[in-house]
Amino acid sequence: MNRLSALQLAALMLCARCFSMMTYFPYTGSNTLVFMTAILLSTALQWLLLLPVSVICSRYEKGVCELAIEINRIFGLVITAAFLLYFAWDIFITTGTFAYFMDNYFSNQISRVPAVICAGGVAVYLGGLSSSVLGKSAGVMFLLFCIFTGILVLSAADRPDLTNFHLAQENIPKTLFDDIKAELVRNRELVMLVFLLGDVKGSKRKAVFSYLAVKLVILEVMIGFVTLVLGSFGTSTDMPFFYLSCYSNSSVVERYDAGFMSVWTALAVVRLAAVLHCFSRCLRLIFKGISAKTAAAVQIIPAAVTFYLLSERSWKGLAYLRESPWLIALLAGAVPLAVMLFMKVRKRADEV
C-alpha cells in the first residue's frame, strides 16, 4: 500500500474541514472576536488531543487500530469496531448533508437522487484506491479551494468595514466555552486523521501541525473577512460563505455562487471518499480476507439509509444537529492515549 506524505494527509483533512465550513456554520450568538478566540483555543485543545496518536504512530510506524490488535485481539477489535461505527455515522451525515443542502439551498435545478448517485459513485471509486492516490487528489482539490477563496476575497462586492468588529457580548466566559465545544464538534475529520496517521511516511507531528495551522489560518481569515464585508448578517446566517459568493463579483463574472457549488461538490466527494476509505479499512481489519467488492457493497448501506430520511423536515433536524464533543474527544484523544499506555506496559513486561 502506497503511503501518504505529511502534506497529503493535511490536505485531505483540510478538504474535509473546508466542506463542513462551506456547508453549514451554526450561529452561536457570539460576536466575531469571541468566536475567533474560541477557534484559536479549540485548535490548541485539538493539538493536545492529538499528541498521544502523534507519539505512538511515530514510535511504532503503525495505525492506532493495528497497534490495538497487536496488544490484544479482542481489545483491538473493539477499538476498530468503534471507529467503524463512527465512520458509518460520518458517511450517513456527509451523504445526507450533501443531498439536503444541494437540493434545498444551492441548486433549484438538481434533485438529490442523481446528485448523490454521481457524487457517491466517484467517492466510492476514489475511496477504493490507495491512501497515496487519495492524498494526491485531495491536494488538487484543496488547491482549487484556495484559488476560489482567493477570488472571493479579491472580488468582494462591498468594501471591508472595520467597524463591523465590536466587543459587545454578554457573558463572555460562557459564550467562549460554548464556542470552543461547537468548534470541536465541527471537526469530525479528527477521527479520520487519527485512523490514517499511521499511513504517513514522514513526520507524523508535521502532518498534525500542518493541518491544524493551515486550518486555523483559513478559519480566522475567512470568518474575519466575512464579518468585514457582510457585517452582522455574516455572523448571524448559517451559510456566510455561500452568501459571500453571491455578493462577490468582478468584471468577468457577476456572481460566484455557481463556482461555490462546484468547489463545494468537489470537497464533498473528497471528504466522502476519505470516510469510505477508512470504513473499508476497518472492515478488513475486523473481517480478515473480505473482498474489495464486499467492502464496497457494505459501504453503500449507511449512504443509502439517508434516502429514507431526506424529506425536508426529517433531515433538517440531523443537518442542524449539535453533536456532543465527547465522542470525538474519546476517539481522537482517549483511545490513542489508552493504546500508548498499554504499549508501554507491554514493553516493560517484555523487558522483564
pLDDT digits (tens, 9 = 90+) for 50-82: 999 999 999 988 899 999 999 899 999 999 999
Rounded to whole angstroms, the Cα distance separating 341 from 280 reads 27
Q: Which of 3-12, 20-29, 125-134 has the highest mean pLDDT?
A: 3-12
Query: How confident is the model at residue 321, as a pLDDT?
Result: 67
Range 204-207 contact pairs with CB under 8 angstroms and sequence separation of 24 or more: 204/6, 204/53, 204/54, 204/57, 204/58, 205/54, 205/58, 206/6, 207/4, 207/6, 207/7, 207/9, 207/10
At 259, is the pLDDT very low, low, confident or very high (cuts 50, 70, 90)?
confident
pLDDT digits (tens, 9 = 90+) for 8-20: 999 999 999 999 8
Rounded to 10 deg, the angle between the 189-196 and 257-286 helix axes is 50
Q: What is the mean pLDDT of the chain?
A: 84
CATH 3.40.50 applies to domain 6-351: no
Instruction: State mean pLDDT over 155-178.
Output: 71
Angle at 325 between CA 120 and CA 168, to 5 degrees: 110
Q: What's phi and psi for 29, nearest 5 deg?
A: 95, 0
**pLDDT greater than 80 at residue 292:** no
Rounded to whole angstroms, the Cα distance separating 116 from 303 reads 9
User: In which residue are the cell numbers 448501506 written?
Assistant: 301
Query: How confident is the model at residue 225, as a pLDDT?
Result: 84
**Poorest-pLDDT segment among 34-48, 76-90, 98-112, 137-151:** 98-112
pLDDT digits (tens, 9 = 90+) for 208-233: 999 999 999 999 988 888 888 877 77
What would the 3-class secondary structure string for 135-153 be? HHHHHHHHHHHHHHHHHHH
pLDDT digits (tens, 9 = 90+) for 308-325: 666 655 666 666 666 788
Cα distance from N-terminal residue to C-terminal residue, the chain: 35
Angle at 11 between CA 217 and CA 271, to 5 degrees: 110
Query: How confident is the model at residue 113, as a pLDDT?
Result: 74
* Strand, coil or helix: 168: coil
Single-letter amino acid, residue 63: G
Q: What's phi and psi for 327, nearest 5 deg?
A: -65, -40
At 103, is the pLDDT very low, low, confident or very high (cuts 50, 70, 90)?
confident
Rounded to whole angstroms, the Cα distance separating 298 from 282 reads 12
- Residue that wins the pLDDT comparison between 60 and 249: 60
Torsion of CA 143, 146, 147, 153, to 10 degrees: 180
Single-letter amino acid, residue 105: Y
**pLDDT greater than 60 at residue 352:** no
Report pTM.
Answer: 0.91
Query: How confident is the model at residue 11, as a pLDDT?
Result: 95
Burial call 233-269: b when 16+ CB within 10 Å, e when fewer: ebbebebbbbbbbebbeeeeeeebbebbbebbbbbbb
Q: Which of 88-92, 160-164, 187-191, 298-302 has the highest mean pLDDT?
A: 187-191
**Poorest-pLDDT segment among 103-112, 192-201, 284-293, 327-336:** 103-112
Rounded to whole angstroms, the Cα distance separating 276 from 264 reads 18
**pLDDT greater than 90 at residue 36:** no
Break the chain into its structural domains and give their ranges: 6-351
